[in-house]
């Protein structure tokens, strides 16, 4: 048995030395996972000076210090109000994508019984956010990669079984919904070829198919997503697509054709331009 406070202090120092950006938070979450309790309980144990049996904690710390994503170690990722299953083979949803989901939720809420399509759904995060936050929404989602699709299937089955999840290419998905959709939302791969993500967790562990958008600028897949959105949406329907902050101008250009109007850039919570929306003309 080890003093919980000392255990956490040493763990925090170890993770900080390894370059983990949030060492205290990660240490608390990993200890909670090792003990099989909520993170709030760890705070109580520390405050009371309790001694604990750390179990697998040291092994988890070693993996996290090697920059294995925290979410792969706990098997869970928070996204808005959701607690998603994640792991190797699926892109871990990020906070910036929560603002993209918010735009889709607001647009869907403005329509009675909205039909919403999530292209490149990954873990199912955006689709499930819409399904759980928009009453009466009919949500459809598609994912090409088989491993990611399996994670999405698990999340859909647990959280919102009525979501229509399919495996397929976003460029050709849902021909049965052509012209019948109110909102199309997507967090597609958009990293340019040759660019290496800064975070080790992303570069080493996120699947390449979820990162690299192909083409010279990384926007080949997003352009296909926009073309699908034009096919799927009703007149006046809303599309929103996530992209990198340096791709703002190029993303606006994707919506520059005669199919689109009311093109707008949107910033995430840090003030960076991370998504672009438009209306189907």
Q: Quick one: 50 and 96 in the same domain?
A: no
Q: Which two tokens stand for residue 221?
A: 């897949």
Is 23 annotated for ligand binding?
A: no
Domain with 264 in it? 88-280
Whether pTM > 0.85 for this model: the answer is: yes
Is 187 annotated for ligand binding?
A: yes
In a domain, 78, yes or no: no
For the chain, residues with pLDDT lower than 70 are 196, 198
Q: Quick one: 262 and 157 in the same domain?
A: yes
Q: Quick one: 110 and 188 in the same domain?
A: yes
Q: Quick one: 272 and 168 in the same domain?
A: yes
Q: What's the Cα-to-Cα distance from 248 to each of 52, 152, 252, 266, rounded to whole Å?
A: 50, 28, 6, 9
Q: Quick one: 106 and 28 in the same domain?
A: no
CA dihedral 146, 147, 151, 152 (to 10 degrees): -30
In a domain, 12, yes or no: yes
In a domain, 204, yes or no: yes
The C-alpha atoms of residue 76 and residue 276 are separated, in whole angstroms, by 28
CATH code for the domain in which residue 225 is found:
3.40.50.150
Q: Can you give the pLDDT at residue 198?
A: 66
Total Cβ atoms within 10 A of residue 32:
19
Buried-state track 207-244, b at ≥16 Cβ within 10 A, e below 16: bebbbbbbeebbbbbbbbbbebbbbbbeeebbbbbbbb
Is 155 annotated for ligand binding?
A: no
* Beta-strand relationship, 233-242 and 273-280: antiparallel
Q: Quick one: 56 and 164 in the same domain?
A: no
Q: Quick one: 99 and 230 in the same domain?
A: yes
In a domain, 223, yes or no: yes
Write the CB contacts of 29 (distance below 8 Å, at least 6 apart in sequence): 39, 70, 74
**C-alpha closest to that of 276 among 126, 103, 119, 110:** 103
Tokens 């009466």 identify what position? 136
Q: Can you give the pLDDT at residue 211?
A: 80
For 174, phi then psi, to 5°, come to 60, 50
Contact between residue 166 and residue 145 where contact means Cβ atoms under 8 Å apart: no
Tell me if residue 42 falls in helix, strand or coil: helix
Q: Quick one: 11 and 146 in the same domain?
A: no
Q: Between vectors from CA 150 to CA 144 and to CA 153, what angle results, nearest 5°?
A: 100
Q: Quick one: 135 and 206 in the same domain?
A: yes
Q: Quick one: 159 and 112 in the same domain?
A: yes
In a domain, 114, yes or no: yes
The C-alpha atoms of residue 137 and residue 187 are separated, in whole angstroms, by 19
* Beta-strand relationship, 138-143 and 164-167: parallel
Q: Quick one: 105 and 216 in the same domain?
A: yes
Structural domains in the chain (count): 2
In a domain, 55, yes or no: yes
Q: Quick one: 122 and 33 in the same domain?
A: no
Q: Can you give the pLDDT at residue 196?
A: 64
In a domain, 269, yes or no: yes
**C-alpha closest to that of 185 among 139, 247, 249:** 139
In a domain, 72, yes or no: no
Q: Can you give the pLDDT at residue 212?
A: 76
């Amino acid at each position: 048995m080890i003093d919980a406070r000392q255990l956490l202090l040493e763990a925090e120092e170890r993770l900080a030395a390894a370059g983990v950006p949030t060492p205290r938070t990660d240490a608390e979450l990993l200890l909670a996972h090792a003990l099989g309790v909520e993170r709030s309980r760890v705070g109580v144990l520390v405050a009371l000076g309790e001694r604990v049996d750390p179990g697998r904690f040291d092994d988890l710390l070693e993996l996290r210090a090697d920059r294995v994503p925290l979410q792969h170690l706990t098997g869970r990722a928070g996204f808005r109000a959701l607690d998603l299953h994640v792991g190797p083979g699926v892109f871990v949803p990020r906070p910036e994508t929560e603002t993209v989901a918010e735009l889709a939720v607001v647009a869907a809420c403005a329509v009675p019984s909205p039909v919403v399509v999530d292209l490149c759904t990954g873990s199912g995060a955006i689709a499930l956010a819409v399904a759980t936050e928009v009453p009466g929404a009919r949500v459809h989602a598609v994912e090409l990669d088989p491993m990611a699709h399996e994670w999405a299937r698990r999340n859909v089955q647990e959280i919102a079984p009525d979501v229509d999840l399919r495996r397929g290419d976003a460029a050709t998905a849902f021909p049965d919904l052509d012209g019948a959709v109110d909102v199309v939302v997507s967090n597609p791969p958009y990293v340019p070829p040759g660019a290496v993500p800064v975070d080790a967790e992303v570069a080493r562990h996120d699947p390449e198919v979820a990162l690299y958008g192909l083409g010279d600028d990384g926007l080949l897949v997003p352009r296909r997503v926009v073309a699908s959105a034009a096919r799927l949406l009703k007149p006046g329907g809303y599309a929103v697509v996530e992209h990198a902050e340096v791709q703002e101008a190029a993303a606006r250009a994707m919506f520059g054709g005669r199919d689109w109007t009311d093109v707008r850039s949107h910033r995430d919570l840090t003030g960076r331009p991370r998504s672009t929306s438009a209306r189907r003309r």
